[in-house]
Amino acid sequence: MVAAFFVPLSARAQFESVRDSVVQLYGVIMTADSLVGIPAVSITIKGQNRGTITNSDGVFSIVVLKGDEIEFSHVSYKPKTVTIPRDLEGNQYSVIQLMVIDTVYLPATIIRPRPTPEQFARDFVNTKVPDDDIEIARQNTSAAKRRILLQTTPGDGGEATRQQFNRIANRAVYQGQTPPMNIFNPAAWVDFIDAWKRGDFKNKK
């Protein structure tokens, strides 16, 4: 048994129209003064995220549609734009695109030496060299800096939660009895002596 499929005439006409609008664009891009192929030229279709680049000989090939605007750009040359004719007969279009070097003139920079060796030596000695990463890390991890940070930096949510859980756990452990006193804890005495030497208990006005 042979199955027959019928395609509507409108769909077939639309398919033929789309196929007729597709164009294979190919060609070569060369310098205008010496007719040498330019490699790595960007060929993009305006309004679309499609494109290609030329090979080492300046040759390229890309599929476009009739009426598309094709832009040729390179960092060292002035951009060029080519429009594919809408009334193009056939499905192939070749171009030989010449590009002109884009010259950019930068403002002049004047470099002057120091007036005298003595002034250079003076400025060199008095120049402040910024701290490197190691010196900055050493300053941030010093004991004095850490004490200041502990006194001035507020606790975050995680630290407050841990402290609350510790208090709840201590109450549960010593429920019904007297908690131990740190006066008999040698570690607490060491911390007390260190704080006394630092002057933490001095009257600060």
- DSSP letter, residue 106: P
- Tell me: the pLDDT tens digits for 6-21? 455 555 555 455 567 8
Q: Are 97 and 74 in contact (CB under 8 A)?
A: no
Q: Tell me: the pLDDT tens digits for 95-108?
A: 999 999 988 788 88
Predicted TM-score of the model (pTM): 0.46
Report how far residue 29's alpha carbon sits from residue 32's, in angstroms, rounded to the nearest whole number.
Answer: 9
Q: Give the mean pLDDT of 178-191.
A: 72
Round to the nearest angstrom and report the end-to-end CA distance of the chain: 106
CB 128 within 8 A of CB 103: no
What domains are there in the chain, each with its CATH number? 9-99 (2.60.40.1120), 117-198 (no CATH)
Phi, psi of 44 (to 5 degrees): -125, 150
Lowest mean pLDDT: which of 89-98, 100-109, 149-158, 176-185? 176-185
Handedness of CA 103, 106, 112, 113 (dihedral sign): negative
Smallest Cα–Cα separation from 81: which of 50, 46, 31? 46
**Predicted pLDDT at 57:** 93
